[in-house]
Structure 1
Amino acid sequence: MNEINIKKEIGARMRQLRLEIGLTQEELANKLVSVKGKSSIANYENGSNLPSDEVKFKMCELFNCSLDYLMCKSDIRNPQKLQLDDMDIAFASGIKGLNKENQETLKNIMDGLLAKQELEDKDKKE
């Protein structure tokens, strides 16, 4: 991937994180203090510029994410929050014992159960 595409991908991630916490570009610039207005944020988000290290670290604090996630080097938003309980470990160990076909079957079953649960949760809210 070339540098322009990397900057655009990082900019898209920054925009997504900003929108998740419900800030406008101007509000984000104000929170970051060292950023000179919403045009700087727009330049980050459209991939024209990358923020300074200081601004990146402030963004990570504000967005509650790792620097690797912010810079698109990882898809794990906050690795220190990734903790496995006994059920997770047992499940992962069990999957390893299955052949590929059975792993795929189990994945399809899980997808179905998650969809069912999502519908049930949605019905409860209404």
Structure 2
Amino acid sequence: MTLGERIKQLRKENGMTQVNMAQKLGVTKGTVSTWETDSRTPGFETLNQMCDMFQRSMDYLMGRSDDATPPPVPTDEEQAKLALNQAAEDLKEYVLKYCRLDQYGREAVESLIRAEYNRCRAQGELGPTGDYAVNIRIIS
């Protein structure tokens, strides 16, 4: 089964018209039509939205699998772990970028962090300090 055929099948199984589907995905009816006829292929973000919308795996949507079982929903613990891993990766990226800034840039970043920290503290929005641990290694 082609991607277009699978999109059409899932749309119909879910009682949606091309117009309904287009509205949910933020595209035009004509775009949905071109997907269903395999004239065009949706981008990754749109494919991902469709997987969520139809509760099917990417492999199923793409026609690489006939297993229509909905993908497992991550537990709250798994979601929290993924969020922490993403936060760690983001922080690593920010630290590396900060290290490459000149003095003016570092002072600007520090000023912004101080201002936002003070704002959050004043609004009682600071997270607990025990939730984080930092280990930074500097190579010279």
Count of residue pairs the alignment pairs up: 72
Indicate the structure whose relative CO is greater, using CA pairs within 8 Å and at least 6 residues apart.
1
- Aligned-residue CA RMSD (Å): 1.5
Change (3 A) 1:80 1:21: closer
Kindly indicate which of the two structures has a greater share of residues assigned to helix.
Answer: 1
Residue in structure 2 matching 1:14, options 7, 14, 25: 7
Runs of 4+ aligned structure 1 residues displaced above 2 Å come to: 78-81
For structure 1, the 5+ residue unaligned runs are: 1-5, 82-126
| Alignment pair present for 1:42 and 2:33 | yes
Q: CA deviation at 1:80?
A: 4.2
% identity of equivalent residues: 40
Task: Report the TM-score, using the length of structure 2 for normalisation.
Answer: 0.49
Change (3 A) 1:80 1:40: closer
Larger Rg: 2
For residues 55-100 of structure 1, what are the alpha-carbon distances to aligned partners after superposition, in whole Å with 9 as ceiling and x for unaligned? Answer: 000001111100000000111123645xxxxxxxxxxxxxxxxxxx
Change (3 A) 1:69 1:26: same
Task: Report the TM-score, using the length of structure 1 for normalisation.
Answer: 0.54
Which secondary structure does the structure 1 equivalent of 2:67 belong to? coil
What is the letter of the counterpart of residue 54 of structure 1? E
Distance 1:78 1:43 in 2: 26
